Structure 1
Amino acid sequence: MPEILVPENVRDKVLRELYRQVDALDWEEIPLRVRTTYYTRWVEDHAIGGSLADYMTAEGMRVWLKDVPLKEYARAVENFGPYSRYVAKFLTPPSDFIPSLLGAEWSVQARSIGEKPMHCVATNGSIERYVCWGRARNFRDLTWAALNEAVDSVQRPMVIVYVSDEIPINPKRAARFRSIAEHCGIDLDFTRRHWNTAPTVVL
């Protein structure tokens, strides 16, 4: 969806207020069916919908909220992309969780971080591996990305499934994921990521 045609100062004010409210939630863990109530709330919010009322209809606002800023939010909290400047908190970067899973000798190769899904090249100085990460609901996309990489790589790619709240991944679901990963010839691990209030990596 194209960006809305509003003055830049109005757009920035709306985005900062929207992300301020979204930052107070664990948005990515909220079920899709529940998110609809928040779209309605934000359309009716004076600082968000009220500021956009001169530029689009209520339905247009819902579509824009869903397809632009909230679609970008998952990347923004990775400190990735132009919308990252609107969020006040960031998930711990791969430079934190990759060494803890692969070993202290492993690090993220400079400028290798990308998206769709979030991924990077990890190296221990002599070996390079493709690593991608996401939430449990994105496991299918993560697996497909890793399989595509595996076709052209001599090293097994790695998928990391993470959570950012206190609810662990269901053990049966985790076991199923492990079986699928093993069948596909890719490595899989799980981690819990925390929130930082300031950027910790420059992309």
Structure 2
Amino acid sequence: MSRDRTLPAHQLAAVVTALYARADDVGWSTLTPQERTRHYAEWVETPDVGKILAAYMTPEKARTWIKDGPMKEYVNASRGTGRYARFGRHGGTGPTDVAAAALGPAATVVPGSQGVKPPHCLAEDPAGTTSYLAWGEAGNFRNLLWAALRAAVVDGLPAHVVVLEPPGRPTPSADIKTHRAMAQRCDLGLHYLPEVAGRLAGPVPAGDADGGDRDQ
């Protein structure tokens, strides 16, 4: 967001790091919209978030920035991708694991091919065949399916959807049945991968905090 430029790099790093730690503590991915709204209001009042932002914007603008900036990217960042990746988790399930799940343990990710919305990359199998891989949670299956189908139709690539299963949240059997039927109809590969949560990043050095948008 352009408002990122309003905050000095060290302040941005401190606020986003605090937000992601707080989000982890409350189990952000399991919260309802109403519960998330309550936390936005609470965080605007906290010393490690709201007090810092108050020097640069009004409480209402701070709440909007939190919601539409760092927290909108929280899921991507928790998987080490997206604009705020440097503040998220590292060392968990990543593109290499996804490629292995879809194409086998000897598969390699094509350098520079990673992207977001949805998370995706190109990978090569031992025979040298390049495939498109899209991955994410079951709740985003529609977008994963569309991205893979588009790669297959437009780019002529073998394409696969890899559904990540966060710790303690296996995909319901009814959803798997539906996924399989849709993937088969679209002639796409479908795989399920138990996700390993990475380590939450600590404070980012000021020199690295303004590293810019790393989306590809």
Normalised by the size of structure 2, how large is the TM-score?
A: 0.81
The alignment status of 1:150 with 2:161, answered yes or no, reads no
Helix, strand or coil at the partner of 2:135: strand
Aligned counterparts of 2:138 and 2:171: Cα–Cα separation in 1 = 8
Q: CA deviation at 1:168?
A: 1.2
Q: Is the 8 A contact 2:110 2:123 kept in 1?
A: yes
Q: Is the 8 A contact 1:20 1:88 kept in 2?
A: no
Q: Is the 8 A contact 1:77 1:90 kept in 2?
A: no
Aligned counterparts of 2:26 and 2:166: Cα–Cα separation in 1 = 11
CA deviation profile, 1:25-80 (whole Å, cap 9, x unmatched): 54334344432222122112221112212322222122111111112222222323
Q: Which moved more, 1:130-139 or 1:187-196?
A: 187-196
Using CA pairs below 8 Å that are at least 6 residues apart, which structure has the higher relative contact order?
2
Aligned counterparts of 2:167 and 2:31: Cα–Cα separation in 1 = 11
Aligned counterparts of 1:29 and 1:180: Cα–Cα separation in 2 = 26
Q: Is the 8 A contact 2:102 2:160 kept in 1?
A: no
Helix, strand or coil at the partner of 1:71: coil
Normalised by the size of structure 1, how large is the TM-score?
A: 0.86
Q: CA deviation at 1:24?
A: 3.3
CA deviation profile, 1:97-120 (whole Å, cap 9, x unmatched): 431443223222222211121111
Which residue of structure 1 aligns with residue 179 of structure 2?
Answer: 177
Aligned counterparts of 2:9 and 2:100: Cα–Cα separation in 1 = 40
Aligned counterparts of 1:97 and 1:81: Cα–Cα separation in 2 = 17
Aligned counterparts of 2:82 and 2:170: Cα–Cα separation in 1 = 28
Q: Is the 8 A contact 1:90 1:198 kept in 2?
A: no
Helix, strand or coil at the partner of 1:195: coil
Aligned counterparts of 2:112 and 2:169: Cα–Cα separation in 1 = 32
* One-letter amino acid of the structure 2 residue matched with residue 52 of structure 1: L
Mapping 1:1-203, distance limit 5 Å? 1-4=1-4, 5-125=6-126, 126-197=128-199
Q: How many residues align?
A: 200
Aligned counterparts of 1:132 and 1:143: Cα–Cα separation in 2 = 8
Identity over aligned pairs, percent: 33
Aligned counterparts of 1:3 and 1:28: Cα–Cα separation in 2 = 25
Q: Is the 8 A contact 1:161 1:190 kept in 2?
A: yes
Helix, strand or coil at the partner of 2:154: coil
Q: Which moved more, 1:46-55 or 1:139-148?
A: 46-55
Q: Is the 8 A contact 1:134 1:162 kept in 2?
A: yes
